[in-house]
Amino acid sequence: MILPEFFALLSIDVFLLLSLLTCLLEDRFPKAIPYIYQIAALIGFGHLLVSRDFLAVFGEDMRFWYNFFYLLVALGNVIAINLYLAVEKKMWTLAKAWSGIVTFPITVISVFFVSNYSYLQGAEFPTLILQVGLVISTIVMGVSISIFLSPDLLDKLKGRR
Amino acid sequence: MEIRKILFRKEMKLVTLLLTSMLIATASATIYNYMFLNANIGVEGMTLTWELGADNATAGTQIAGVTATLTNLKGPPNGTRVYGDPVRLKNTAGSGSALFDLVIDDVSGDTDNMSSIVVRLYSFNTSAYIQNVTVWNVSKGSDANNLSIPAGHIWRFEWEISWKAIALVTDSVTVNLKVKVPA
C-alpha cells in the first residue's frame, strides 16, 4: 500500500533528476534552470513536511489530489524540456534520446504507480487504458528493436516516401 | 588553461547540485518513511482500528493510523471534567482476540496546571469495565501492556481530566495514544 505522498516523493526525484541533467547539458539550457529545479524539489520537500504535520487533518482525497497535481507539474516539465529541445533548439537526436531515456520511462513509472494506487483504493481502473498502453508499448518496442538492429531501415522507409 | 577553468567550474556546479540533490532526496524519503510507518503499522500486523466516539467533536479527536490524538481536552479550574466517549478502539478481526499495548505517546499543552488524566476502558458490547490507565499524574503515566480485546468488540475510552485551582479556562492539553502489538 502506498500513501498519496509517494507521488510528491516521486516528483521531488524527477525535479532533482531534471536539475542534474540540465546541469550536464548546460550549454543547451538557460543557466538558471538547474537551480530552479532544485527550488522546485525543495518546495516538494516543504510540502511533505506540511503534509506530515497535517496528516490527520487532511483527508485521503485531498492529499491525493494535491500530490497528484505536483506530480503532473513535474511530468509537465519533463515533456516541456523534450519539446524545448525538439522545437526550440531543433536538436532532434538529443530530443529523441531524451524522450527514450527520460520522458518515456518517467511517464510509464508514474502511470504504473497512479494506477496501482487507484487499484488499491478500490477505484475502478479502466482496463482499456491498460490494453491500449500495452499495444502502444509493444509497437514502440518492436519498431525500436528493428531500427536498432538495422539502422538502414529508417533511411529505406524515408526513401519510399 | 581557460578550458580547464571552465571544466572545473562545471564540475563544481555539478558536484554542488549532486550533493544538494542527495540531501533533499534523503530528507524527503525519511519524511515519507515516517509518514508511512505512522499510517500503516497497524494495518498489516493487527486488526485494531481507532474509531471516533460520540464526544469526538468536544475532545478534538483526530485519528491517523495507529495514533489517536485528542487535541482539546479542557476542564474547569479545581474541578474535573469527564469525556464519556471521545474515542473507541475496535478489533475488526472475525475471530480471535487481539493482544496489544496502549502507548501514551505524548502529553503536551498546559500540563503544569493539570492534576491528572485518567482513562477508563469500558466494553461497548457488554458495558463491562475493563481497566484504568493513568495518562498523567504530575508526569506522564505508564503504558498499559498486554491488553486483550475479543474479536468484533469495541472498547470505549472514558477520559477524566482534573485541573488544579491555578488553571485557566483557556488551558487545554493534547494527548497522543498509540496501539502497539507486542514483539
Closest Cβ opposite residue B39 in set A3, A44, A45: A3
CATH of domain B47-180: 2.60.120
Provide mean pLDDT across the span B102-125. Answer: 86
Per-residue model confidence (pLDDT) at position B44: 45
Provide mean pLDDT across the span B92-121. Answer: 83
Put simply, whether A116 touches B (Cβ < 8 Å) is no
| H helix runs in chain B, sequence order | 2-45, 56-59
Beta pairing partners, A8: none
**Closest residue of B to A55, CA-based?**
B64
Per-residue model confidence (pLDDT) at position B98: 82
Helices and strands per DSSP (H, E), number in chain A = 7, 0
Q: Are strands B61-64 and B48-52 parallel, antiparallel or unpaired?
A: unpaired
pLDDT per residue as tens digits for the range B49-75 = 888 888 888 888 888 777 788 888 777
Residues (pLDDT < 50) of chain A are: none
Per-residue model confidence (pLDDT) at position B31: 86
Mutate to test the interface with A, among B17, B40, B41 (most CBs of A within 10 A): B17
pLDDT per residue as tens digits for the range B8-20 = 778 888 899 999 9
Per-residue model confidence (pLDDT) at position A17: 95
Beta pairing partners, B154: B90
Cell of A48: 511533505
φ/ψ of B48, rounded to 5, equals -90, 135
Cell of A16: 532533482
Q: Are strands B114-123 and B67-73 parallel, antiparallel or unpaired?
A: unpaired
Residue pair B79/B116 in contact (Cβ under 8 Å)? The answer is: no
- Calculate the average pLDDT of chain B: 82
Per-residue model confidence (pLDDT) at position B73: 78
Which pLDDT band, with edges at 50, 70 and 90, does B42 fall under? very low
φ/ψ of B132, rounded to 5, equals -100, 150
Residue pair B166/B76 in contact (Cβ under 8 Å)? The answer is: no
CA angle B70, B72, B77 (to 5 degrees): 125
Per-residue model confidence (pLDDT) at position B38: 64
pLDDT per residue as tens digits for the range A121-155 = 666 656 666 667 767 877 877 777 777 667 777 77
Distance from CA of A16 to the nearest CA of B (A): 6
Predicted TM-score (pTM) above 0.90: no
Listed by start position, the domains of chain B span 1-45, 47-180
Closest Cβ opposite residue A57 in set B17, B38, B62: B62
Task: Give which of B118, B83, B91 is closest to B104, Cα–Cα.
Answer: B118
- Concatenating the DSSP letter of every residue in A67-128 gives HHHHHHHHHHHHHHHHHIIIIIS--HHHHHHHIIIIIHHHHHHHHHHHHHHHHHTTPPP-HH
- Specify the higher pLDDT residue, B176 or B38: B176
All residues at 6 or more sequence positions from A77 whose CB lies less than 8 Å from its CB, including other chains: A14, A15, A18, A37, A40
pLDDT per residue as tens digits for the range B123-160 = 988 888 888 888 888 888 888 888 888 888 899 989 88
Residue B162 has pLDDT above 60, yes or no: yes
A111-148 burial by CB neighbour count: b if 16+ within 10 A, else e? eeebbebeeeeeeeeeeeeeeeeeeeeeeeeeeeeeee
3-state secondary structure (DSSP) of residue B46: coil
Q: Are strands B48-52 and B144-149 parallel, antiparallel or unpaired?
A: unpaired
Q: Which chain B residues are within 8 Å of A44, Cβ to Cβ?
A: 28
Closest Cβ opposite residue A12 in set B17, B28, B35: B28
